[in-house]
Amino acid sequence: MSICHRSAETLLHELGISEPQHIDVEAIAYYCGAEVRYRPLNGCAARIIGSDDQAIITVDDGGSSWPRQRFSIGHELGHWMRDRGKSAHLCQDKDLTAVWGHRQDPESRANQYAADLLLPPFMFQPRAAGREMTFKTVRTLADEFKTSRTATAIRLVEKGTFPAMLICYGMEGRRWFSRGPDVPQEIWPAKQLNHETTAFEVLFAGKEQRKPMEVDADAWVEHRDAYRYTVFEDSVKISDDAVLTLIWWKDEQQLIDL
Ligand SMILES: [Zn+2]
């Protein structure tokens, strides 16, 4: 079947999919002319090779989790939607973590497509409404959408009720972050972890994750008036040398004052 380019949301509506558990990404790919195969791949996470209206998506099944494999399929489908007929993409792990939103870059655009397909705003937003911006919420939503913790957390920051940022730190400092739409552009997360944060303890002292905490905002935010305010922090270790942190404001007025 020949299918022209369409948004993930249009595709979901066209297929009558309105519940997360019905997002069968392999079936959706097939509907778009792309067959999915699984096997161990060397040096890449997924690839797509296509000609005319048919394509084959191959996903690495040696070690990556099912949520990540689903995201890979969505990512390749994103390439396919744009480059139908002349597609050949080999995508590495780093491509699959390229930050969404930089829509000029093909890898970011493909990730955005995957996110829109697997965590569609019209399904995600009502389920995230009013929930605290914590990894407990992320876990609940990730279970429902069968998506990875990181992808789900990015979506929560984008579409959740409260202003928030998601930040990844390694031993060397800040690696990347995602700022929610209600957080002003002037607000930046610290480049280096403050030793009073839970994230610091989790990363450097090997402490177990603790429950979300209210902390002084100046430990987190680079702003001259930050010391007068507080934020909520929730941090989890994601590998031996990295921690992922959610920072959020329960009281939006504080952010407006800043
Ligand atoms: Zn790619």
**Position 76 confidence tier, pLDDT thresholds 50, 70, 90:** very high
Residue 127: burial class (beta carbons within 10 Å; 0-12, 13-18, 19+): middle
| Cα–ligand 1 centroid distance for 109 (angstroms) | 9
pLDDT of residue 4: 67
| Cα–ligand 1 centroid distance for 212 (angstroms) | 35
Residue with tokens 């990181």: 150
Task: For 8-34, write each residue's pLDDT tens digit.
Answer: 999 999 999 999 999 999 999 999 999
Indicate if the pLDDT at residue 1 is higher than 50: no
Task: For 21-73, write each residue's pLDDT tens digit.
Answer: 999 999 999 999 999 999 998 878 899 998 878 899 999 988 788 999 999 99
* Contact of 44 with 60, CB cutoff 8 Å: yes
Q: How far apart are CA 116 and CA 65, in angstroms?
A: 20
Indicate if the pLDDT at residue 85 is higher than 90: no
The encoded tokens of residue 133 equal 């911006």
- Of 253 and 239, which is predicted with more confidence? 239
For the chain, the 3-state helix, strand and coil shares in percent, each to the nearest 5, are 40, 20, 40
| Cα–ligand 1 centroid distance for 91 (angstroms) | 4
pLDDT of residue 90: 82
* Contact of 232 with 197, CB cutoff 8 Å: no
| Cα–ligand 1 centroid distance for 82 (angstroms) | 12
pLDDT of residue 209: 67
| Cα–ligand 1 centroid distance for 89 (angstroms) | 6
Task: For 104-150, write each residue's pLDDT tens digit.
Answer: 788 888 999 999 999 999 999 999 999 999 999 999 999 999 999 99
pTM above 0.85, yes or no: yes
User: What residues have a C-beta under 5 A from ligand 1, the ion?
Assistant: 89, 91, 95, 107, 110
| Cα–ligand 1 centroid distance for 44 (angstroms) | 10
| Cα–ligand 1 centroid distance for 17 (angstroms) | 25
